[in-house]
Structure 1
Amino acid sequence: MSSCIRCIGMDSTMAACRELVDLILSGDVSTQDELNKAKKMVSAAYHLSKLPRNSDILSAAGDDRDAVLDLLQKRPIRTISGVAVIAVMTSPYRCPHGRCVPCPGGVDSIFNSPQSYTGAEPAALRAIQENYDPYRQVTARLSQLKQIGHKLDKAELIIMGGTITARPLDYQQWFVKRCLDAMNDFGREPLHTKYLEDAQRANETAAVRNVAMTFETRPDWCKERHIDRMLDMGVTKVELGVQSTYDFILKRIERGHTVADSVEANRALRDSAIKVGFHMMPGLPGSNMERDLRMFEALFNDSRFCPDYLKIYPTLVTKGTRLYDMWERGEYVPYSSEEAARLLADIKERLPAWVRLQRIQRDIPAKHIVAGVLKSNVRQMAYDIMQAEGKRCRCIRCREVGHKMLKGLRADPDAVRLGVEKYEACGGVEHFIFFEEFNIDALIGFIRLRFPCRPHRPELEDAALIRELHVYGRMVPIGEKGKDWQHRGYGAELLERAASIAREAGYGKLAVMSGVGARPYYERLGFGRDGPYMSRRLRP
Structure 2
Amino acid sequence: MEKTLHNILGEIRRTNAPLAPDALDRIIRARNREVAGPVRYVAKKKLLPFYQEAKEHRPEHWRTWGVSPAEEALLVRTLQVKPRRTASGVATVTVLTKPWPCSSACLYCPNDVRMPKSYLHDEPACQRAERNWFDPYLQVTARLRTLHQMGHVTDKVELIVLGGTWSDYPEAYQIWYMHELFRALNDMGCETAVERESETRRKQYRDTGIACERDDLANWAAEAQARVTAGDASYNETVRNLYACGTRADNAPLHSRSTDRNAASIDAPPCSAAADDTQGAAFEPFALDNLQGSAPNSGWAAAAQWQTATFFQLEALQRENEAAEHRCVGLVVETRPDAVTPKRLATLRRLGCTKLQMGIQSLDERILAANHRGIGVDRMQQAFELARIFGFKTHAHFMTNLLGATPESDAADYRRMVEHPAFKPDEVKLYP
Scaled by the length of structure 1, what TM-score is found?
Answer: 0.53
1:100 to 103, 106, 127: 106
Q: Distance in 2 between matches of 1:283 and 1:46?
A: 52
Structure 1's 174 and 301: CA in aligned 2 closer, same or farther, altered over 3 A? same
Displacement, 1:77?
1.0
Structure 1's 290 and 55: CA in aligned 2 closer, same or farther, altered over 3 A? closer
> Aligned pair 1:57/2:47, yes or no?
yes
1:413-466 CA-partner distances (Å, limit 9, x unpaired): xxxxxxxxxxxxxxxxxxxxxxxxxxxxxxxxxxxxxxxxxxxxxxxxxxxxxx
Contact 1:17 1:56 in 2 (8 A): no
Displacement, 1:24?
2.9
* 1:20 counterpart residue number: 8
Relative contact order, CA 8 A, sep 6+: which one is greater?
2
1:44 to 33, 46, 51: 33
Displacement, 1:106?
4.9
Identity of aligned residues (%): 33
Aligned partner of residue 310 in structure 1, secondary structure: strand
* 1:119 counterpart residue number: 121
Q: Distance in 1 between matches of 2:98 and 2:374?
A: 22
Displacement, 1:51?
4.2
Displacement, 1:198?
1.7
Q: Distance in 2 between matches of 1:51 and 1:34?
A: 18
Aligned partner of residue 74 in structure 1, secondary structure: coil
Unaligned runs of 5+ in 2: 56-66, 198-308
Displacement, 1:310?
0.6
Aligned partner of residue 93 in structure 2, secondary structure: strand
Q: Distance in 2 between matches of 1:198 and 1:47?
A: 56
* 1:208 counterpart residue number: 326
Contact 1:135 1:181 in 2 (8 A): yes
Q: Distance in 1 between matches of 2:382 and 2:165?
A: 17
Q: Distance in 2 between matches of 1:75 and 1:167?
A: 34
Aligned length: 297
> Aligned pair 1:81/2:59, yes or no?
no
Q: Distance in 2 between matches of 1:77 and 1:211?
A: 18
2:160 to 154, 158, 161: 158
Displacement, 1:46?
4.5
Displacement, 1:43?
2.2
1:253-273 CA-partner distances (Å, limit 9, x unpaired): 111222122111100011111
1:222-257 CA-partner distances (Å, limit 9, x unpaired): 111110111001101001001010122112111122
Q: Distance in 2 between matches of 1:301 and 1:15?
A: 57
Q: Which amino acid aligns with 1:53?
A: A
Contact 1:276 1:308 in 2 (8 A): yes
Unaligned runs of 5+ in 1: 1-12, 315-540
Aligned partner of residue 305 in structure 1, secondary structure: coil
Q: Which amino acid aligns with 1:104?
A: P
Alignment of 1:109-508 (within 5 A): 112-188=114-190, 189-190=192-193, 195-314=313-432
Q: Which amino acid aligns with 2:51?
A: A
Scaled by the length of structure 2, what TM-score is found?
Answer: 0.65
Displacement, 1:283?
0.9
Q: Which amino acid aligns with 1:57?
A: L
Aligned partner of residue 66 in structure 1, secondary structure: helix
Structure 1's 51 and 20: CA in aligned 2 closer, same or farther, altered over 3 A? farther
